[in-house]
Amino acid sequence: MRSRAALPRFASLLCLLFLPSVLSSSPRRQWVLQRIPVVLPQQTEARPTPQFLNEARLDVASPCDPECHKTAPRRSYWDLRSLLAYETLDSNGQLTETAIGIYGYNPYSNTSPAYSSGSSGKAERSHVRRKRQIFGHDGRFSIAGQNFLLKYPFSVAVKLSTGCSGTLVGDRHVLTAAHCVHDGKNYVKGAQRLRVGFLKPKQRDVQHSPIYLPSNFTNHVEGGPEQYPPPTNDKMKFQWIRAKRTHVPKGWIKGNANDIGMDYDYALLELKKPHKRRHMKLGVSPPAQRLPGRRVHFSGFDNDRPGQLVYRFCRAGEETSDLLYQHCDAQPGASGSGVYARMWDGRRRRWERKVIGVFSGHQWVEKKGTSQEFNVAVRITPLKYAQICYWIKGNFVDCREG
């Protein structure tokens, strides 16, 4: 137990660790606003009721490595229409399929500054398949105590009843991975009665930490020079809200988590009632080289730390138009977490965090007798932004800039 005499000295150390970022000599990285294409629903048809046969898999395997994805043929307009068509599962078991139209998008042009991949470096590769999804020293740390759990951005992380994580992206909307609700062939057990869990204190009089931290602590814990685990408090519980409906792109269902399917490993949940928390905005994924420190962040509920919210950040590695490879430490249960970045919003004159991807999970690829390992996130491209935003807003007018 830390002595009272040590507290002032410890607080002084924290102040040194969390100096304002304005002292940094690195240039200010800004969000680049761009015109977003339009993805509109055209025709909806009823589909047979799903069987909900299998448990959700919390990991995803694919035989296609980054080079395989990069050499894949460019998708035509008709390919994209087919991949972005989507299914909607209602809580009453009703299933529909919706065809979509795409407007204001040229599939043969890849000049968007936020969409094109600007990375020329190779991702670090491992030739030994590990039992854990940890690369070297475990760089994760648990966020504990209501001072932190209920504070943005950590408060946007939620847990799904199927075992995955998700991120609040609207007043009643949660972004997660498609494999958390659909295995590529059918909807998983629990998808019809899906619930979303919000971590909350068990009682009102939760003891607070005696150490006073800077008001912008969360800005520095997201990639500061040192990692400081906040004060521990285990008196937390999940409060659950039922999902009203679930949207899954056909690109995932047709791909079955192989090859092209992994590019569409995302889903959106609509809750039955508003959650009353601040949510995180969507953003089009910029090239990794434009991210501050080339760094990405996400928080989720890793299975090896039950009941705890686990935060991590790491340097982004190789990327394709649809996927971002990195070696962020993670365990099953973290998949579905929103991968985000924090950059300067020149229009609003403030720092802004935006969700730029969905953590899909640990990928290992057997190739020529060796095993290559990656942790993979699905990038939010302009078309995916247009689709997810339409699901949230219900119109395209509010989705033209991302």
Going through 111-156 in order, the beta strands assigned E by DSSP cover 141-143
275 is catalytic: no
Please choose, from the candidates 199, 196, 211, the residue with its C-alpha nearest in 3D space to the C-alpha of residue 241: 196
Residues of the chain with pLDDT under 50: 1-26, 111-115, 117-132, 135, 205-215, 217, 223-233, 256-257
CATH of domain 38-105+139-202+233-393: 2.40.10.120
The full DSSP string for 247-265 is EEEHHHHHHTTSGGGGGG-
pLDDT of amino acid 378? 95
Q: What percent of the chain has pLDDT over 70?
A: 73
Pure H helices in 117-264: 146-149, 217-221, 250-255
The total of other beta-carbon atoms located within 10 Å of residue 50's CB is 18
- The whole-number pLDDT of residue 368 equals 62
* pLDDT reported for residue 73: 81
pLDDT tens-place string over residues 130-161: 444 554 556 667 887 777 888 999 999 999 99
- The pTM score is 0.82
Asked if 335 is an active-site residue, the reply is yes
What was the pLDDT predicted at 373?
75
User: Could you report the per-residue pLDDT of 315-341, keeping only the tens digit for each?
Assistant: 998 899 999 988 888 888 999 999 999
Catalytic member of 335, 337, 360, 362: 335
| Buried b or exposed e, range 125-135, using 16+ CB within 10 angstroms | beeeeeeebbb
In this prediction, residue 148 carries a pLDDT of 83
* Local structure of 87: helix, strand or coil: strand
Average pLDDT, whole number, for the chain? 79
Per-residue pLDDT at 69: 75
Q: What was the pLDDT predicted at 111?
A: 45
Per the annotation, the verdict on 247 as an active-site residue is no
Residue 367's pLDDT is: 61
The predicted pLDDT at position 107 comes to: 78
Catalytic residue among 62, 69, 173, 179: 179
Catalytic residue among 79, 171, 259, 345, which?
259
pLDDT of residue 143: 80
Determine the Cα–Cα distance for residues 141 and 308; give it in Å rounded to an integer.
10
Taking the domains of the chain in order of start, what are their residue ranges? 38-105+139-202+233-393
